Amino acid sequence: MGDNIVSQMIDQHRNLKKVISNVVELSKEDNKEGEILQGLNEFKALIVKHLKLENEGFYDELIKQMEKGGQDITKTKTFIDEMKEIEKAVIAFLEDYSSEEKIKSNLEKFQKDIESVVSVLTLRIESEEAGVYSYWGLF
């Protein structure tokens, strides 16, 4: 696993934020359910790819490196578990709004829910980039 995994994940974070921000803007306009769904589908494809790299590549390898270096991995594992809870909430949101009809019939709730998702996602991204990403290569 090369050192560029962190920069690759940070680039993915930027794309995720850009796509979800576009969806938020679309949700403020009338009759944009089709475009909203298209944006959500793009976001879902990006986040699934990102989570695969992060969970199966970065986190697994980081834990191995930390253990090999004799580090206590308790807090890191707790952090990873917290990140997985955020992941579940984001995936549940995407499932709740998986069709134009679901978005249209619950637009007001969708607008509140997407703001929460953006907030949680931003927190996760900032936590990862300021925290565990900086551990990469230390051990």
Is 80 exceeded by the pLDDT of residue 122? yes
The tens digit of pLDDT for each residue in 42-53 reads 999 999 999 999
Torsions phi, psi for 50 (to 5 deg):
-65, -45
CATH number of the domain residue 13 falls in: 1.20.120
Is 60 exceeded by the pLDDT of residue 1? no
Counting the structural domains of the chain, the total is: 1
Range of 113's domain?
4-135
For residue 135, name the pLDDT band (cuts at 50, 70, 90): confident
The tens digit of pLDDT for each residue in 57-110 reads 999 999 999 999 999 999 999 999 999 999 999 999 999 999 999 999 999 999
Tell me how far apart the alpha carbons of residues 52 and 67 are, in angstroms, rounded to a whole number: 22
Supply the pLDDT for residue 3: 64
Tokens matching residue 95: 């499932």
* Averaged pLDDT for residues 5-34: 96
Mean pLDDT of the chain: 93
Supply the pLDDT for residue 131: 86
Contact of 103 with 96, CB cutoff 8 Å: no
Percent of the chain surpassing pLDDT 70: 97
The tens digit of pLDDT for each residue in 99-112 reads 999 999 999 999 99
The number of angstroms, rounded, from the C-alpha of 138 to the middle of its chain's C-alpha atoms is 24
Burial code of 43-55, b = ≥16 C-beta within 10 A, e = fewer?
Answer: bbebbeebbeebe
Supply the pLDDT for residue 134: 86
Supply the pLDDT for residue 110: 97
SS3 71: coil
